[in-house]
Structure 1
Amino acid sequence: MKHKSLFNRVLLLLAPVFLLLTASVSAEPTKLTFLHFNDIYQLSGVKGNGGFAELSTLIKAEKARSPNTVVTFGGDLISPSIMSGLSKGTEMIALMNAVGTDIAVLGNHEFDFGPEVTAERISESTFPWLGTNIFDGAGNVALGAQSAMIMEVGGFKVGFFGILTPETVFLSQPGKDIRFGDVVGTANAAVKALTESGAEIIIALTHLDLAKDEDLTEQVEGLHAVLAGHDHVAATFVKNDVPVMQSGADGIYLGVLDLDVEWIESRGKKRLSVLPSWKMVATRGVTPDPEIKAIIDNYEAALDKELSVPIGKTAILLDSTRGTVRSTEAAIGSLISDAMRAEVKADIGFTNGGGIRGDRLYDPGTVLTRKDILTELPFGNVTVLLELSGADVKEMLETGVSKVEDVAGRFGQVSGVAFTYDKALPSGARITEVTVGGAPLEMDKIYTVATNDYIADGGDGYAVLKGKKQLIDASGGTLMATTVMNYIRDMDGINKVPGGRITEK
């Protein structure tokens, strides 16, 4: 692929004006290389693995090996992280631009700060974002994303389309005007359009459950590769003659997919031969690209200064590990719910354990900083105040324990309410006892509930909360992280968090 700017290499955005291209001629046997990564949330990686500077080194090395390369990204970038809680992901776009990303598909986390921020981040990118099945109210591809593209790579016309999981409606905050098209139906239409427009090789960039990627290989004719994201799996396999690659998460690996492509003529007929090979290259121990590392160092120095301010000392153990906050009463979850309830003077405080992201232990005596709180609450959610009937409160609690055996993020952390549940009972009918403020829950009584704007809009399966009366909506709410910081300061640290809120039979 000629090393010009991406948009000089783009032949087609599926607009009629570009259909006047001259017919493709037979190409010589060629190796096309796709350098793929996905689901990256940190500038410097995690625990010595990953990082944009290390990825850049590997990308440059692979480009030197194979000149016909395309750098692809499988979605989930601008959130969650400590920094994005403040910046809404501007630094992540800057690094993606700097490492030479060629094309990307939107992930669910691109919508964590709402569709307006999604559009801003897309506009800041020097590479195109694909959103083939993401539509606005008028039925157009939304927010400045592209439906599909064709690039000339090594003399071949390579077509790309991008599919995002429709579950983004529940996983993030795309807004009421964004609609997600059917995965397989949209993919088939995209392949047809790309083929009719001259594409010889067709690549699906996806952000789906891996099982859905497999479905694409079975139900969509004409695919040559699926470059995926979402499940944080580092794996490549071939199914139905289509290679599927996903490169883990956090830049721990760079996936390298080579396609040896050749037009073969036999008995007057031509057919395209595509032979895949691949490898996963670890970033651990790789020498960082100094130019990229300098950019990262500048961002992190500014962040450290901003976040090193102490908030207060904890006298008790706080456990925010994933398995704890998503399956049982956790002191840190109770603390966050207490802070939210106190902020808006609600009867009940409630938040989903999946929104607590630090995944660590704070020993007694630890001095918590701004950085700690923003690590725990990186999504930029705000506290809203709802009115719910007792019946709605019970359904909310049922939702929280409906997938507890799966350690699902919807597990509820609570304040002002205590309940008992039995996970041996059917999902939706597991709550056996509920009290609010020490009194039995009354099904017809109206209660005020402090929660986050994400689940208040139906996220994480909380359909019961969507459309309920909001006494304080997202536009008037306070950032959850700010609420928790203020609460810890006002309490002069964390000395005690009362328990006995969630009991499993």
Structure 2
Amino acid sequence: MMDKKKVSITILATSDIHGNVLPIQYGDNREVHHGLAKVSTIIKAERKTSEHVILIDNGDLIQGTPLTFNYVHNKNNNENPMIKILNHLRYDAAVIGNHEFNYGLNVLHEAVGNSCFPWLSANIIDAEKNTPYFGQPYIIKMIEDVKLAILGVTTHFIPSWEEPSHIAGLKFIDTLNATKQWVSEIIAKENPDILIVSYHGGFERDLISGELTEEPTGENQGFQICKEVEGIHVLFTGHQHREISGMIDNTTVIQPGMNGANVGKVEITLTQDPGENHIDDISSEIISCESVLADNEIVELISEYERETQDWLDNFIGTVEGDMKIEDPLSVRLKDHPYIEFINKMQMEISGAEISCTSLFNNASIGFKEKITMRDVVSNYIYPNTLKVLKLKGEDIKKALELSATYFIVNNSKEIEVNPKFITPKPQHYNYDMWEGINYILDISKPIGSRVTKLEQNGEPLGMNFEYHVVMNNYRASGGGQYTMFKEREVVKEINQDVSELLASYIIERGIIKASLNHNWKVIS
């Protein structure tokens, strides 16, 4: 009779790397504690101490930094640096994330084609063939007669944000339904000892109480998956940039944050009996990269890409007359600021629209210094957005302003602060817009839905049934951020060039840009 045998399997997962490799902040090259160079150090250490290691990326890999931007726009005849690194680190699989589509299907096809590992997404479907677009919905790994299945799924909310040309010919099936279907099929066909789902999406409910933490749009279905899909041992998640390690019922759940700040680790131990394997234990943890040194092998691997990126970022493109620097992000969102006014006026001039809206994407934006470089442009305008001009009624604009006004609350000290819903579980500062071409006041002391106390254009009240041409980024124009009042509205004009490129060209053509303020809006309490 064979003796029982113990087998230990380690699964490591990254998610939402967003183009971060070196531990630097490109805005000023200061040191930070994230990036694939640090992740590599952890991976190598785990491979030295663990019996068997499986490595997964959970999506949003190829977009997000000047490194990836410069590669796509200036160096795309070479191998994608992110794929080069994952190939080098011998990843076993990757899942398609929503930001994989940001640079268009050609860039994504090339990245997938050059990968030495499969890209998984069972619910992104070829509309013509009605089969998974990226080929493999799942993979099987055999480790000492232990059969391990890994299914990849992606948030199906992508059409709500992405440029239609970037997802042409694709269907996005409801993630929960697709997961149910494929898990059932995998169990019936493969009978795996371990079933892992890697989901580029997050949790719509509190993991302990089960209370809703966001609008039930379907963007995040992790909690439902754990509750309604039988047979999943481990659910890797992402998209929300949270750090999560725990359990929902019988499913181990993990989410390793963003930018390569951490690595998610799941350890599974099994006992092998003759002809049968039993799971003894599943544990999970988040391994921080904070005190980890960067792997020089990875640094060297992308050294040419990095040198060319830094040279490009240091290109001087223009001068600011006045002050467009951002000192306090909250104050920028409370009253008109020269940087926001500049972005809006640039959008209006380029598009010909009479009204514009934009946001301050995150709290790391520093605005423009006196001498502007490409580094300043791409560090402030961090997304590869394009512009659209919509035909909106005045009532649409008012509804949008009321939605933006929910970004604020008044605290016990009668001070205005950011609504916690825009901070946790995921920072969403980009869902608060500031407008040009209209005059308005938001009074946060008023009840939600009635905070717009002034809304005028040229000294006259905005006509609720009048139509106006409004320019905004494509994410917002598609209804992203729950701005459903913009969905299905007529598109008057599309400008299919990255806003960061438009900004750079605009500054270069003029040489000098002037900081101005017309004080057309403010927030009060």
User: TM-score normalized by structure 1?
Assistant: 0.84
2:122 is equivalent to residue 144 of structure 1: no
Correspondence list, 1:312-461, <5 A: 312-314=318-320, 315-319=322-326, 329-353=336-360, 356-357=361-362, 359-362=364-367, 366-404=370-408, 405=419, 406-407=421-422, 408=428, 409-423=430-444, 427-461=448-482
Distance in 1, matches of 2:3 and 2:152, equals 27
Can you give the 5+ residue segments of structure 2 that lack an aligned partner in the other structure? Answer: 25-30, 206-220, 409-418, 423-427
Counterparts of residues 78-477 of structure 1 (less than 5 Å): 78-88=62-72, 90-138=80-128, 140-173=130-163, 175=167, 177-198=169-190, 199-210=192-203, 211=205, 212-264=221-273, 272-314=278-320, 315-319=322-326, 329-353=336-360, 356-357=361-362, 359-362=364-367, 366-404=370-408, 405=419, 406-407=421-422, 408=428, 409-423=430-444, 427-474=448-495, 477=496
| 3-state DSSP of counterpart to 1:454 | helix
Q: 1:45 aligns with which of 17, 23, 37?
A: 23
CA distance in 2, matches of 1:416, 1:260: 62
Aligned amino acid, residue 359 of structure 1: A
Is contact 1:75–1:104 with CA below 8 Å preserved after alignment? yes
Distance 2:81 2:494 in 1: 28
In 2, the alpha carbon distance for the partners of 1:45 and 1:148 equals 32
Shift of 1:401: 3.2
Matched with 1:33 is 10
Deviates more, 1:344-353 or 1:115-124: 115-124
SS at match of 2:5: coil
Deviation at residue 447 of structure 1 after TM alignment: 2.1
- Residues 138 and 274 (structure 1), Cα distance of their counterparts in 2 relative to 1, 3 Å cut: farther
> Tell me, what secondary structure is at the counterpart of 1:79?
coil
8 Å Cα contact 2:23-2:38 kept in structure 1: no
CA contact (8 A) 1:326 1:410 kept: no
1:320 to 1:392, Cα distance in 2 relative to 1, 3 A? farther
Paired AA for residue 416 in structure 1: G
**CA distance in 2 between partners of 1:44 and 1:438 (Å):** 51
The code of the aligned residue for 1:344 comes to S
Q: Residue 118 of structure 1 contacts residue 143 of structure 1 at CA under 8 Å; is this kept in 2?
A: no
The 3 A distance-change label for structure 1 pair 64 and 85 is same
Aligned AA (1:360)? S
TM-score, length-normalised on structure 2? 0.81
CA contact (8 A) 1:131 1:141 kept: no
Q: Which amino acid aligns with 1:306?
A: W
Structure 1 segments unaligned to the other structure (5+ residues): 1-24
CA distance, structure 1, for counterparts of residue 267 and residue 467 of structure 2: 61
Q: Is the 8 A contact 1:218 1:240 kept in 2?
A: yes
- What per-residue deviation string (whole Å, max 9, x for no partner) do you get for residues 366-386 of structure 1? 422111111222322222333
CA root-mean-square deviation: 3.0
Query: 1:461 aligns to what SS in structure 2?
Result: coil
Pair 1:419–1:179, CA change in 2 (3 A): farther
Deviations 1:408-460 (A, max 9, x none): 42211222122123445565554332122443212333322222222223333
For 1:500, the equivalent position in structure 2 comes to: 520
Question: What's the CA shift for 1:329?
Answer: 4.6
Deviates more, 1:489-498 or 1:154-163: 489-498
* C-alpha contact (below 8 Å) 1:320/1:358 kept by paired residues: no
Please report how far the alpha carbon of residue 348 of structure 1 lies from its aligned counterpart in structure 2 after TM superposition: 0.7
Pair 1:358–1:372, CA change in 2 (3 A): farther
TM-aligned CA deviation for residue 185 of structure 1: 2.5
> Aligned residue for 2:416?
none
Offset, 1:472: 2.3
